[in-house]
Each structure stands twice: as C-alpha cells, then as structure tokens.
Amino acid sequence: MKTLNTRKIVLLVCLVALAIDPLFLFIPVIDSHRLCFTYDKKLVATACVFRTLIDTFYGIHIIFHFITKHIAPRSQVSFRGETTVYSVAISERHLIFYFIVDIVSVLPIPQVFGAFWYLSAIEKKNRCWSDACAKSSMCNLTNLDLYCVRGGGDNSHFLKISCPLIDPGEITNSTVFNFGMYIDALKSGVVESRDFPRKFFYCFWWGLRNLSALGQNLETSNSVGEIFFAITICVSGLLLFSVLIGNVQKYLQSTIVRINEMEEKRRDTEKWMSYRMLPESLKERIRKSEDHKWRETRGTKEESFLRGLPKNLRLEIERQIYQKLLKHMPWFEDMDDRLLDSVCARLKTVIYTEDSYIVDEGEQIENMLFINRGTVIVTEKKTTFFRSVGEFCGEELLSWALLDPHSSCVPISSMIIKARTEVEGFVLSADDLKFVAAQYCRLHRKKARHISRQEFQLHSRKWRNWAACFIQAAWTEYCRRKLSKDLGEEEAKLHSTIQKDDSAGNTHNLGGTAFASRLASTVLRNLRVNASRKDRVRQISLPEKPVDPKFPMDEI
C-alpha cells in the first residue's frame, strides 16, 4: 500500500511537471513600442520556482532508486535469492534504463503545440528584423540590439516599415517577408502581451483547433522548419484521430457482440416459451426479468469474471463488495477476516424485478438474502413491513443453523417476501450458512454464546414482535390491576362513610348519598373501559415465544 501511494505521488508530480514545462516557452515577449525582445519577469520567477521544487523532489526519487532494496530476477522466480542493499547491482540496473528515463523526465521537454507556435512566432519576427537590417543600409547594425536589456529602439521605425504583417495569401511582392502560419500570433498581439492566461488559452485553442483539423487550415511559407512543424501537427492529429477511432471501434465491437449474444439468447427463450405453451402474462414477466438482468450486468458474468482473477485480488474485491453489507448483521460483525473471507467467497449476486416473489408462504427457505439495492415487502399474518438497503431476509435460516446444525430439513417460510422495487442483493445458501456457523462456533465459543443470548435476540424480527406483544400484555395487566385497586379503595371509602352514618343515627346524610352516586358512576365507566380493553387484548393475543437460540457447545 505504501508503494502504491508513493507511485501515485510521483505520478501526480510528473503531471504537474508536464503542465509547468510549456510555461518556459511563453517567457519571451516583444516590446511593441521599442520593437525589441524582452521577457516576462513574473512568469520567469513562477516557472523557475515550481520547476526547481519538482526537480528537487524527482532528484530525491532518483536517489531513492539507488538505495532501495533489489532482488535479482532469478531470486523472484525461485524465492531463494538474497536482497542486496547499496550494491553495484542496483546502480548498474538503474543506470541501464531507469536512470536515463529519470534524466529525460527532468528535462523541460515541451508538450504543447501552442507553446511551440508562440515561440516560433517570436523567432520568425526575429528573422524578419535580421534579414531587413542585413539588406538595407538604413539599419545601423552596430547600434542594433534586438534585446531590450541592451538598449533597443534605435531602429524601431525602420523595423516597423520593413516587416509589415500581411497574410500569406495576400502577398504579391516576393520581397515582402512571409510569416506563414505565425501571422495570427503576431496580428493578435499575444506575443506582445504579458497577460499569461490570455496568451496561454489563445495558443491552446490554436493547437487544439489545428490538431482536430489535421492542420488543413495552415498556410506555411517556404521555410523548412515551418513546413516540418506543420507536418508534425498533421501527423499528430492523424494519430490522435486513429486512436480515438480505434477505441470507439473496439467499444462498438464489444457492445455489438454482447447485443448479438443477448438477441440469440432472447430468440432461444422465445422458442422455449412457445414450445412449452406458456401464457402471455408469464412470458411478459420472463422477458421483463431477462431485460432487467441485461441492463444491470450488460452481459457480464460476474462469477466467472471473479474466478478468473488471482486469489489475492479476488479476495480484495469480495471484501470491498460484501463486507460492509455483511457487518450490518451483528453475528457477522464480530467475525475475524478469515471467516468473513469464507462467507464472501460463498455469496452470490441475485437480481429480482419489481413485484416478483422472492419467497412465498409455505416454501422452503433455501437462501438468506442481504439487500444491496431496492426495497422488499414482508407479509406475515396480515402484518406488513418493509426491508431496505443494509437489511436482510431469511433469518430463520440462521436460527436453524444455530439451533439444529445436524438437521438436513431447511425451515418453512411463514411469510411472503416480495420485491417492491427492483432489488439487487447477495444470497447465502443454507448449506453454506450452516458450514460458516459451525466454523464460527468452533473457533469462538464464548463470543458465539454471548451473541446468541443478547444480540441475536435484539436483531431478530420474531423476538422483537414477541417482545412488543409481551410489553403490551404486561401493560394491560398492570392497568387492570391498578383499576381493581382503585375501585377497592373507593369501595372501602363508601363502606366507611355508611358505617359512620349508621352509628350517627341510621340516617344517610347528603354527603354520603353524593359520594355513593359518584362511586357508582365511576364503577360503571371503568367497567365499560375495562370491557373494551378486554376485547382489544383478546384480539391481540400473545404469540408463541420463539425458541431460545442455543449453540451446540452450550451443552458442553
């Protein structure tokens, strides 16, 4: 992993270097007032600082290659070679190939045609001025200095007249200097501008436009260098276009092959459905299922693809795909990597279309489903609930694997599991789940016992339903007892009041009569409420308590 991160950093630095290298070609500029050559000081400082930092980093990388450990090729085959450090073998191996590549990579090789075009335009202007001064006596060659740092400006009027900017197609006099395909750079003023973003993007657009047009719009002069540059642009555009066409052709060929396979499979399916005389509704469901699988996989067989990979790479992919989903279930969350790899190797991808039945009531539960995408409807005894991404169905299989590991009869489903939307998930078969449960119990007895007593009950749907009904029943019983106690206290108060009245003269006073009537109304109201509660409790009967999960080693 560290080696991979180091390579990524080196690659990123190389990409930054490729972006900085063309900046050096934009450093020269033309002073439009003095008609001399100068340079952009800000761009010089920026490019040099960044390039120095990158070269320093790459120099450290080269040194690292010299001091790194090296194993001879024959040792890599036999696995019995010795590792050499700071040896001559490392230096020789590096100098033969890698050192040359490193040195070439450090050199500021331009990568952008627009930057070459910009620099060549300045060079073309320089040649025009030099030729004009060489042919005329009006130009003072001893005082002429084409570089502003040495003076410049003495022959500005003469140079402006001698090098007019005329399009190559409009030149009628052979004495007029032909700037060829660099006339746009000189007329646009980018060679005189110190605004770097402006001239960079203008030159970038020029290079992109001519590469895409294969240089067909370029009007060159008779200069060999200019013609060679135009040929290079044309050939580069052809190569890029051929690479693009080749990639598109490969993609279309692979897509056409898969589409042909799908069409052939569809024709075979239609023939089979007609031969079996299936009803049209069932045929439509089969077509919908096949089309959905094709849209999801594009004809790629995931299992065969993974089997063709090396074992370590396959394990890494399976961990990335399956482990996050598996760890939503507490029993898998505490497994070690070895057992999780065993579980991941046994998982299979399944796809269900909308409104398709996953498990019907009364069917055998053959797989445990982990939902990766979509929503599932679970119906049991007029009770409906939903399962979504990260949840699972078929927990009866886990109870069966833990309670009766020696049984060969898988449990029967008491619910209907149906796909509400298009569902993608992973299934673990009953035999595979039993094998994993046995291995886990054998390796982690105490942890397995702890999970079976607490977390398994907490995350079990049946245990949660039973606990909810049990709490409702307990609360109803508590309310009934509290009501009975309150009525007993009220009745005791009534008897006490009557006894006091009898001892006072066997006549009922007004307060006792009012208290008795209030007690009677309270009793009648509570009786009605209690009767309705009894009806409701009678309707919501306490379900049968699920069997306690028990591992085989609990008996030891």
Q: Is residue 548 part of a domain?
A: no
**Residues 201 and 97 placed together within one structural domain of the fold:** yes
**Residues 452 and 476 placed together within one structural domain of the fold:** no
User: Residue 360: which CATH number?
Assistant: 2.60.120.10
Q: Is residue 191 part of a domain?
A: yes
d(CA 220, CA 498): 127
Which residue in the block uniquely carries the two structure tokens 């240089």? 215
Domain boundary among 406, 429, 459: 459
d(CA 17, CA 321): 36
Instruction: Tell me the CA distances in angstroms from 448 to 208, 370, 454, 545, one per residue in order.
Output: 65, 21, 10, 22
Q: Is residue 546 part of a domain?
A: no
Complete DSSP assignment for 485-527: HHHHHHHHHHHHHHHHHHHHHS---HHHHHHHHHHHHHHHHHH
Q: Is residue 276 part of a domain?
A: no
Q: Is residue 253 part of a domain?
A: no
Average pLDDT over residues 280-291: 81
Exposed (0-12), middle (13-18) or buried (19+): which is 301, by Cβ within 10 Å? exposed
**Residues 434 and 469 placed together within one structural domain of the fold:** no
452 vs 66, more confident: 66
> What pLDDT is recorded for position 97?
52
> What pLDDT is recorded for position 554?
47
**What single-letter DSSP state applies at residue 321?**
I
> What pLDDT is recorded for position 455?
56
How many residues comprise the chain?
556
- How do residues 223-274 score in pLDDT, each as one tens digit? 888 888 888 888 888 888 888 888 888 878 877 887 787 888 888 888 888 8
**Residues 335 and 427 placed together within one structural domain of the fold:** yes
**Residues 53 and 194 placed together within one structural domain of the fold:** yes
d(CA 343, CA 322): 9
Domain that holds residue 393: 302-459
The answer to whether the beta carbons of residues 218 and 210 sit under 8 Å apart is yes
Say how many C-beta atoms besides its own lie within 10 A of residue 527's C-beta: 12
Which residue in the block uniquely carries the two structure tokens 């009012």? 514
**Residues 372 and 481 placed together within one structural domain of the fold:** no
> What pLDDT is recorded for position 513?
57
Say how many C-beta atoms besides its own lie within 10 A of residue 83's C-beta: 10
Domains held by the chain: number: 3
Average pLDDT over residues 398-413: 74
- Element at 30 (helix H, strand E): strand 28-31
Nearest-5° angle of CA 93, CA 99, CA 102? 145
The answer to whether the beta carbons of residues 163 and 129 sit under 8 Å apart is yes
**Residues 413 and 454 placed together within one structural domain of the fold:** yes
Domain boundary among 170, 202, 222: 222
Q: Is residue 11 part of a domain?
A: yes
**Residues 382 and 480 placed together within one structural domain of the fold:** no
**What single-letter DSSP state applies at residue 137?**
S
d(CA 462, CA 543): 10
Q: Predicted confidence band at 120 (pLDDT cuts at 50, 70, 90)?
A: confident
Which residue in the block uniquely carries the two structure tokens 């977390």? 455
> What pLDDT is recorded for position 72?
44
The answer to whether the beta carbons of residues 118 and 191 sit under 8 Å apart is yes
**Residues 137 and 45 placed together within one structural domain of the fold:** yes
The answer to whether the beta carbons of residues 442 and 368 sit under 8 Å apart is no
- How do residues 512-551 score in pLDDT, each as one tens digit? 555 555 655 665 556 555 555 554 444 455 566 665 655 4
**Residues 445 and 489 placed together within one structural domain of the fold:** no
Q: Is residue 52 part of a domain?
A: yes
The answer to whether the beta carbons of residues 394 and 334 sit under 8 Å apart is no
**Residues 422 and 491 placed together within one structural domain of the fold:** no
**Residues 344 and 402 placed together within one structural domain of the fold:** yes
Q: Is residue 357 part of a domain?
A: yes
- How do residues 424-470 score in pLDDT, each as one tens digit? 888 888 888 888 777 766 655 555 555 555 555 555 666 667 777 77
- How do residues 141-166 score in pLDDT, each as one tens digit? 444 455 554 555 556 666 677 777 88
d(CA 296, CA 506): 92
